[in-house]
Structure 1
Amino acid sequence: MRRMYRSLLSIFSVICLLVTTGVVNQSAAQSDQVYRLGAGDRLRITVYQEEDLSGEFEVSGTGDVSMPLIGGVDAEGKTIQQFQDAIETAFKDGYLRNPRVSVEVLNYRPFYVIGEVNEPGSYPYRSGLDVLTAVAMGGGFTFRADEDDITIKRAGGPEDGIKVNGASRVLPGDVIRVDERLF
């Protein structure tokens, strides 16, 4: 009985250590980084054996994609697989028997760099982009920049954004803010 109690106490201690060091939270944050579609994304949608229904489409400002026959299909906040499934379901509803759909992102929506950078503005997203590279695209830090106080505002994330470092991953649509140092 004592051995079992000690084992449970040891396991509990390890779990507490993992939670307080952020290891558990870090893996949860990584799972949230699955790409989700948003306004401004340019897509190639292929409906197999239906060339007239296939083509290049853009996610509108309202978050939908207007397609032949089925009209607007909501894309905002959906993963590519969820969006493919939504299109297939819409085509099954009286138009095609067994639609097979493929969706590919041609151009991602831009990201934004604001605050204490030399050239704030919007920039085209590139795969594998990190915060330090994004700041470099914005002309680098100004002399007033607090290089340790950088936040990213991400769709669906906290209103104030999340505090990040130079190696943090940037996603399309992110707003990177570099704050001013006090002294």
Structure 2
Amino acid sequence: MLKEYTQLRKWLVGVVAAISVVALAALALVAVPVPAAADTTGYRLGAGDKIRVQVFGHEDLGGEFAVDGSGNISLPMVRSVKAEGLTVSELEDEIENKLKPEYLLNPRVSVEVLNYRPFYIHGEVNQPGEYPYADGMTVIKAVALAGGYTYRARQSKVRITSVGSTGGARDAEPTAPVLPGDVIEVPERYF
């Protein structure tokens, strides 16, 4: 009887262990809600962005570059390349096309955004001004960087003016995403 009990106990311990592993795996697959973040996959480059260009097999042709006020970057050999308004993949294609006919037979180019251009916040915040953009930036995070709301601030809605393909002004909630180059206006409340 003791032998049967020991075998039953081992079997139960194994079943409990298997159920625990399955339960932990199921918990790992549960989606955790994340606040809305800015979608930078279709991000268009603009003045103030800092990028890294790599030309595979030709390290001397790459490096870190800033998009200047006219929207260009200056690369070795090909000189000025228009970057403003292009996505990262479009800029890669543009650089490859400039290198292809005269300098390299089959160039492979990689472009990475190192620092996004800043965003701006003004109105009823304690420290209005220019701030560096970070992935996942929202209005409330931008307000926190700017020292918080003043006592006169309307905290329920702000006005965001965007540049590029998403251009135009829109009213936004505190959880709304902020993109590089956006201008956030925190209005004064009326009462």
Q: TM-score scaled by structure 2?
A: 0.76
In 2, the alpha carbon distance for the partners of 1:40 and 1:65 equals 11
Residues 87-133 of structure 1: CA distance to partner in whole angstroms, max 9, x if unpaired?
A: 01111121111000000111111111111101001111111111111
Shift of 1:172: 1.0
In 1, the alpha carbon distance for the partners of 2:41 and 2:62 equals 28
Tell me the secondary structure at the aligned position of residue 95 of structure 1.
coil
1:127 aligns with 2:135: yes
Name the CA shift for 1:104/1:33 in 2 (closer, same or farther; >3 Å): closer
In 2, the alpha carbon distance for the partners of 1:85 and 1:38 equals 17
1:50 aligns with 2:62: no
Name the CA shift for 1:31/1:173 in 2 (closer, same or farther; >3 Å): closer
Higher relative contact order (CA closer than 8 Å, sequence separation 6+): 2
Tell me the secondary structure at the aligned position of residue 152 of structure 1.
strand
Shift of 1:33: 7.1
Q: Which has the larger radius of gyration?
A: 2
Tell me the secondary structure at the aligned position of residue 52 of structure 1.
helix
State the number of aligned residues. Answer: 152
- The match for 1:165 is 173
- The match for 1:117 is 125
In 2, the alpha carbon distance for the partners of 1:174 and 1:33 equals 16
- The match for 2:151 is 143
Checking the alignment, whether the CA contact within 8 Å between 2:138 and 2:177 is kept in structure 1 is yes
After TM superposition, list the pairs within 5 Å mapping 1:1-183 onto structure 2: 34-156=42-164, 157-158=167-168, 161-183=169-191
Note the residue ranges of structure 2 that are not aligned, 5 or more in a row: 1-37
In 2, the alpha carbon distance for the partners of 1:169 and 1:71 equals 35
- Paired AA for residue 187 in structure 2: D
State percent identity of aligned pairs: 52
Name the CA shift for 1:101/1:110 in 2 (closer, same or farther; >3 Å): same
Shift of 1:149: 3.1
Checking the alignment, whether the CA contact within 8 Å between 2:124 and 2:150 is kept in structure 1 is yes
Once superposed, what is the RMSD of the aligned Cα atoms? 1.6
Which stretches of structure 1, 4 residues or more, deviate above 2 A after TM superposition? 30-34
- The match for 2:14 is none
Checking the alignment, whether the CA contact within 8 Å between 2:119 and 2:131 is kept in structure 1 is yes
